[in-house]
Amino acid sequence: MWLATAALVLLGLLLAFVLATDGRYIGRGLMHFAYDRVGAAAFGSRSEGDRWRAWASWIPLRGGEAVLDVGTAVGDLPLTIAALPNFHGRVVGIDRSPRMIAAATAEAGRRRLGHRAAFLVADASEPLPFDDAEFDVVSRLRLLEAVPNRIGR
């Protein structure tokens, strides 16, 4: 009995380590699997619209810009920008997870923002499917800690 308890405790500690470090040292595949399977529910459970509106106020948006959000998850930032009263540009969100992009696209449809917000599956660690200087503003909030260090490779 004590052996099973000890094994469960060790497994729990390992899982906590993987989650606390975002899979940086071990478990990157587990983190990607969890992100894709439960991420939409976790990230879509509440909007950070107030935070994103504050962020947008720091950038001198005139309203007609093209904005790219790299690592968009469920598209909360692009949808917030697209819904700003004086914004008439376009916002594109990309994420490596097809489920996240599906959730973002569905939410854009629910909010009737599909004409301003688009979402694409793309991996930020690979060349992106856009022309140079296609966007006026690029966001990559909360993404860098999840992208592998490619320096020197």
What per-residue confidence (pLDDT) applies to 53?
74
Question: Residue 152 above 70 pLDDT?
Answer: no
Among the ranges given (28-37, 79-88, 107-116), the one the predictor scored with the smallest mean pLDDT: 28-37
Q: What superfamily would CATH give domain 47-146? A: Vaccinia Virus protein VP39 (3.40.50.150)
Is-contact 69 93, C-beta < 8 A?
Answer: yes
Torsion sign, CA atoms 98, 100, 101, 103: positive
What per-residue confidence (pLDDT) applies to 27?
62
| Element (DSSP H or E) covering residue 138 | strand 137-139
Question: Residue 20 above 90 pLDDT?
Answer: no
Question: In Å, what is the CA distance from 68 to each residue of 21, 22, 34, 91?
Answer: 27, 24, 25, 6
The backbone region for 70, taken as left when phi is positive above 0, alpha when psi lies in -120 to 50, beta otherwise, is: beta
Quickly state the pLDDT bin for 32 (edges 50, 70, 90): low
Look up the pTM and report it.
0.72
The domain ranges of the chain are 2-42, 47-146
What per-residue confidence (pLDDT) applies to 25?
65
- CB atoms closer than 10 angstroms to residue 36: 15
| Element (DSSP H or E) covering residue 139 | strand 137-139
Give per-residue pLDDT as tens, 79-110: 999 999 889 999 999 998 898 899 999 999 99
